[in-house]
Amino acid sequence: RVELPRGALRDVANARLRRDGSDVPAQFTADATWDDGSTRTLGVDFNVSIGPLERRPYVVEFGPGVKSSALGGRGLSVTEEADAIQAGSFRFSRTGAPLAVAANYFKTNFVGTGRNGLAVIDRAGVRHEVASAQGAAVTIVKPGPLKAVLRYTGRLTLDASTTLPFEITLEMPNSKSWLKMSATVQDPAARIRQIAFDSPLAFASLPLTWDF
């Protein structure tokens, strides 16, 4: 992430990443903007293999006369459907309940049945699922091709008078076959005691080697 002065970059298409005088394929996102609409925080995603204690300097160039270099090669494709979002091999519901609908590898779906997604347990031990959340919505933060990011937001309902804002972020790099999921719940009154995050897996026939 690179912090930029106000008015310096109005279109992320006018940014590029360079190393040793050559362009490096990179994906740029305006993570935050100034009040005039220009980019305040520039997100830079790119692939690199680096050894222990190795250092590599990169330069971000930006401005009206700068053009992003072509990404080229294969990448993550994110497509929206009426009831789901497909990101590479992963398929997600629009409501977040269930969260990951499918993860297809080697023509096999590794998402099983059961609890799937975010829930909170309140001080009384009662479980509250995202399925009952108010205003649940999903936003495509980064559409690929080097990195895809989805973000779910809404308010979890504890009782008739209490709702808590939540956020679930899903991150997928094109260089790996994994999904990073993180969740936060705003609870200033300490009404909940635990956040639960469930992902049901369906394993194929044995023998099968898995890396967790």
- Please choose, from the candidates 64, 62, 86, 68, the residue with its C-alpha nearest in 3D space to the C-alpha of residue 76: 86
Helix (H, G, I), strand (E, B) or coil at 63: coil
Helix (H, G, I), strand (E, B), or coil: what is residue 13?
A: helix
Distance CA 191, CA 158 (A): 9
Rounded Cα distance, 86 and 151, in Å: 14
What the block records as the tokens of 31 is 């993570």
78: tokens are 């994110």
Residue 95, C-beta contacts closer than 8 angstroms, at least 6 positions apart: 130, 131, 136, 138
The rounded distance, in Å, linking the Cα atoms of 92 and 168 is 12
Q: What is the pTM of this model?
A: 0.86
Tokens of 23: 């362009």
pLDDT digits (tens, 9 = 90+) for 33-49: 999 999 999 999 999 99
- Are 127 and 160 within 8 A, CB to CB? no
Per-residue pLDDT of the chain (212 residues; tens, 9 = 90+): 999 999 999 999 999 999 999 999 999 999 999 999 999 999 999 999 999 999 999 999 999 999 987 776 678 889 999 999 999 899 999 999 999 999 988 788 889 999 999 999 999 999 999 988 899 999 999 999 999 999 999 999 998 888 999 999 999 999 888 899 999 999 999 999 999 989 898 877 777 776 66
> Which residue carries 């008015």 as its tokens?
7
Q: What is the pLDDT of residues 104-131, one digit of tens each?
A: 887 888 899 999 999 999 999 999 999 8
27 φ, ψ to 5°?
A: -110, 130
The Cα 64–Cα 68 span in angstroms is 11
Q: Tokens at residue 146, please? A: 């080097």
Question: What DSSP string runs through 114-172?
Answer: S--EEEEEETTS-EEEGGG-EEEEEEEEEE-SSEEEEEEEEEEEEETTEEEEEEEEEEE
Output the pLDDT for position 75.
85
